[in-house]
């Protein structure tokens, strides 16, 4: 089955899935998990990428819908962008934003549905300011439900996107010059057909014993600024006027003088021996 990002049917199917009970539950758990992270992010502009259009708001209240969906957000100017709607409707392949114009990017389950996830990640890097942060939310292919649907040819929502493992995404971020600040797993009780009481017990049990088994995982990364390497100058001290270098000309003069002194001593010793021999006769 093709995984092209331009398949509008898939995008619309995912938008409908987010409105189901499972989708709403996962959305709420992700929002609660992001709250402490969002509280420590500061700046002027925040961008939210999602396939789930949030309710439209008046122009004077730009950012209100995003702030209500992501509690804890302190950045004043926040907006949502997506191919199906939001404050700004646009394609993810080419974001209509200037370079280094956004302080925070929250990409909520969009990389899986990109034809070139790495290219989309580079586009996010382009619009993010130096030292800015990015939060990447993805479905966990190593979860129980992820492994189950990996062998299911029907590939129903939300598992018909590309499989992006956590380690693979960390490697991509490292290549782009990002530092991973934190990571977590969410949705341990989501997508379970068990009754609510049992599902709640399973969620607490899995979260404590198998934390990496959540339906989704989240990465928090900071855009690292590469500092130019300092140029090391080789400083040489100039000799003072009238002072010779101790290890230079003086040492060479002493070395050259020693052979002459030794030759003079040898000649004097030979002369004494010859004089003694003559006087003996």
Tell me how crowded residue 197 is: count the other CB atoms within 10 A of its CB. Answer: 8
If we measure between CA atoms, which residue out of 66, 13, 71 comes closest to residue 38?
71
Nearest 10 degrees: Cα torsion 269, 275, 276, 278: 150
Q: Assess contact for 115 and 121: CB atoms under 8 A.
A: no
Q: What is the pLDDT of residue 188?
A: 78
| Confidence check: pLDDT of 132 > 80 | yes
What does each C-alpha distance from 242 to 33, 159, 181, 255 come to in angstroms?
75, 84, 61, 22
Q: Hey, which CATH number is domain 8-223, 3.40.190.10, 3.40.50.150, 3.20.110.10, 3.30.420.40?
A: 3.40.50.150
Q: What is the pLDDT of residue 8?
A: 78
pTM: 0.71
pLDDT, greater one: 145 or 264: 145
To the nearest whole percent, how much of the chain has pLDDT over 90? Answer: 31
Q: What is the pLDDT of residue 148?
A: 73
| Confidence check: pLDDT of 176 > 60 | yes
Burial 252-264 (b: 16+ CB within 10 A, else e): eeeeeeeeeeeee
Rg for the chain (alpha carbons), in Å?
36
| Confidence check: pLDDT of 41 > 60 | yes
Kindly state the tokens that stand for 191: 């997508």
Q: What is the pLDDT of residue 56?
A: 47
| Confidence check: pLDDT of 68 > 90 | no
Q: Any residues with CB less than 8 A from the CB of 64 and at least 6 apart, and which?
A: 57
Mean pLDDT of 87-97: 83
Q: What is the pLDDT of residue 121?
A: 96
Q: In what order do the strands lie in the sheet with 178-186?
A: 88-89, 77-82, 45-50, 102-108, 128-139, 216-223, 178-186
What does each C-alpha distance from 192 to 150, 221, 223 come to in angstroms?
17, 30, 36
Q: What is the pLDDT of residue 177?
A: 96
Using the structure block, give the residue that is written with the tokens 């989501």.
Answer: 190
Kindly state the tokens that stand for 84: 């199906």
Q: What is the pLDDT of residue 140?
A: 92
Q: What is the pLDDT of residue 49?
A: 92
The mean pLDDT value of the chain amounts to 76
| Confidence check: pLDDT of 268 > 70 | no
């Amino acid at each position: 089955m093709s995984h092209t990002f331009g398949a509008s049917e898939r995008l619309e199917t995912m938008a409908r899935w987010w409105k189901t009970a499972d989708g709403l539950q996962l959305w709420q758990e992700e929002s609660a998990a992001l709250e402490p992270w969002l509280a420590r992010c500061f700046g002027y502009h925040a961008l939210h990428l999602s396939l789930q259009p949030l309710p439209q708001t008046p122009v004077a209240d730009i950012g209100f819908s995003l702030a209500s969906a992501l509690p804890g957000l302190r950045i004043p100017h926040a907006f949502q962008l997506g191919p199906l709607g939001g404050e700004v409707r646009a394609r993810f392949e080419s974001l209509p934003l200037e370079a280094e114009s956004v302080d925070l990017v929250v990409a909520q389950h969009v990389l899986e549905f990109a034809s070139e996830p790495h290219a989309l990640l580079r586009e996010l890097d382009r619009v993010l300011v130096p030292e800015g942060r990015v939060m990447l939310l993805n479905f966990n292919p190593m979860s129980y439900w992820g492994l189950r649907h990996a062998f299911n040819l029907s590939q129903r929502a939300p598992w018909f996107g590309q499989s992006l493992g956590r380690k693979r995404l960390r490697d991509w971020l490292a290549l782009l010059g990002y530092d991973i600040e934190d990571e977590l797993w969410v949705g341990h009780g989501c997508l379970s057909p068990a009754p609510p009481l049992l599902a709640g017990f399973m969620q607490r049990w899995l979260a404590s014993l198998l934390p990496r088994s959540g339906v989704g995982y989240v990465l928090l990364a900071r855009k690292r600024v590469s500092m130019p390497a300092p140029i090391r100058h080789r400083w040489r001290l100039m000799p003072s006027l009238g002072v010779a270098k101790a290890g230079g000309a003086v040492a060479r003069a002493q070395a050259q003088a020693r052979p002459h002194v030794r030759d003079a001593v040898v000649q004097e010793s030979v002369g004494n021996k010859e004089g003694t021999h003559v006087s003996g006769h």
